[in-house]
Amino acid sequence: MEDDMDKEILTIEEAAAYLQIGKRSLYKLAKKGSIPRRKVLNKWRFEKESLRKWVSEHTTSAY
């Protein structure tokens, strides 16, 4: 069995944990179309690689 963090397709709970944000915040981003996502059988799914790219593109410097 693969480790949950090794999965490439994540549920909203897994994606929120991966991004270290609340599930409600992620749901709002997904609903607005602000983050890469897909609906599969009426449930949000997130590709880990797409999330990595999104974080990289939306990260600001602390300086």
With respect to residue 62, please indicate whether it lies within any of the assigned structural domains: no
Residue 52 lies in a domain: yes
**pLDDT at position 59, please?**
85
Which pLDDT score, from 0 to 100, does residue 4 have?
A: 54
d(CA 54, CA 42): 23
* Secondary structure in 3-state letters for 44-62: EEEEHHHHHHHHHHCCCCC
Residue 27 inside a domain? The answer is: yes
The CATH number given to whatever domain includes residue 20 is 3.90.105
Please give the chain's pLDDT, 63 residues, in tens: 455 557 899 999 999 999 999 999 999 999 999 999 999 999 999 999 999 999 999 888 766
Number of domains in the chain: 1
8 part of a folded domain:
yes
Host domain of residue 15: 4-57
Q: Any idea which residue has 């693969």 for tokens?
A: 2
The pLDDT value given to residue 22: 97
Q: Give SS3 for 16.
A: helix
Question: Residue 63 domain-assigned?
Answer: no
